């Protein structure tokens, strides 16, 4: 059994997170996503944005970003104080852990955690709680997603290392692309008709680079795609830009 499950916590990006058998243990590779979001905000001089973390799990991605947004970055970049940060997950049990982690790090009043199958409830979110300013010249939508991306074959090959973690957080159909395919379809049908700039950050298995490029071009043909390598030199993160004016 992983030490994180025995101790009930795991460090991620320098912060301590509560975990249990319902949540995926945060990986060091995912810290790359946090770093690239921060670079995007700094390089593109984004000061007003909404961030949605899809499949938030323990909440480690949005919580780390919020801690930085409201401490280091605003003083340097003039980021507005009314940022909208949302974490989505299909599991109520997982969302409870995310809420506990947000409270632990004293950012529970800055993040909304909502039950949703990927972006399925996004329109309900807009209509019910008015959290997403999806129009306006100064608004940027950032979507982060570290969804299950293992194929059944890869899972079987690594079973001894993964058997204690929830299958639902690891396996994504036969080829590992089931949920990213669904997410891209949702973005195509629900979000791209807004005129605001959109940037997506998707973590993948390095072997899926070409398949993911094909899927992105299929559903988001105008997208600009860039792959980012992790510390091992493997293509771990995809940055997708839509409706960019520059």
What secondary structure letter does DSSP report for 78? -
Do the beta carbons of residue 218 and residue 201 sit within 8 Å?
A: no
Give the residue among 107, 121, 126 at the shortest CA–CA distance from 60. Answer: 107
Residue 79: which pLDDT band, with cuts at 50, 70 and 90? Answer: low
- 78 or 35, greater pLDDT: 35
The Cα 146–Cα 193 span in angstroms is 24
pLDDT at 18: 97
Of 86-100, 137-151, 154-168, highest mean pLDDT:
86-100
Map out the domains of the chain with their CATH numbers: 3-242 (3.40.50.150)
For residues 136-141, average pLDDT: 65
**pLDDT tier at 72 (50, 70, 90 boundaries)?**
low
136 pLDDT band, cuts 50/70/90, is very low
Number of residues written out for the chain: 246
Q: What pLDDT, on a 0 to 100 scale, did the predictor assign at position 165?
A: 87
The reported pTM is 0.89
For every residue of 17-84, DSSP letters joined together read: EE--TTSPPPPGGGHHHHHHHHHHHHHTT--SEEEEEET-TTSHHHHHHHHHHTTTHHHHH---S--E
pLDDT tens digits for 156-212? Answer: 888 888 888 888 888 888 889 999 999 999 988 877 666 778 899 999 999 999 999
CA distance linking residue 54 with residue 188, whole number of Å: 15
The predicted structure's pLDDT at residue 48: 78
Average pLDDT, the chain: 86
**Beta-carbon count within 10 A of 64 CB:** 25
239: left (phi over 0), alpha (psi -120 to 50) or beta: beta
130-158 mean pLDDT? 76
Predicted pLDDT of residue 133: 47
pLDDT band at 41 (very low <50, low <70, confident <90, very high): confident
pLDDT tens per residue across span 44-69? 777 778 899 999 999 999 999 999 88
């Amino acid at each position: 059994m992983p030490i994180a499950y025995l101790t009930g916590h795991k460090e991620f990006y320098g912060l301590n997170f509560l975990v249990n058998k319902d949540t995926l243990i945060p990986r060091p590779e995912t810290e790359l996503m946090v770093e690239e979001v921060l670079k995007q905000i700094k390089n593109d001089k984004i000061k007003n944005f909404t961030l949605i973390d899809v499949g938030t799990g323990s909440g480690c991605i949005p919580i780390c970003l919020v801690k930085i947004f409201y401490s280091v970055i605003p003083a340097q970049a003039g980021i507005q104080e009314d940022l909208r940060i949302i974490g989505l997950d299909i599991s109520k049990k997982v969302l409870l852990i995310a809420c506990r982690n947000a409270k632990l790090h004293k950012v529970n009043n800055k993040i909304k955690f909502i039950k949703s199958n990927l972006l399925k409830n996004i329109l309900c979110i807009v209509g019910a709680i008015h959290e997403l300013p999806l129009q306006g010249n100064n608004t940027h939508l950032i979507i982060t997603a570290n969804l299950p991306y293992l194929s059944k074959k890869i899972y079987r090959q690594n079973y001894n290392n993964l058997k204690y973690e929830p299958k639902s957080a690891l396996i994504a159909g036969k080829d590992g692309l089931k949920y990213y395919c669904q997410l891209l379809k949702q973005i195509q049908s629900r979000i791209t008709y807004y005129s605001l700039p959109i940037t997506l950050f998707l973590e993948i298995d390095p072997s899926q680079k070409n398949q993911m490029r094909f899927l992105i071009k299929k559903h988001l043909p105008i997208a600009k795609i860039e792959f980012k390598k992790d510390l091992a030199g493997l293509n771990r993160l995809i940055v997708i830009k839509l409706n960019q004016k520059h």
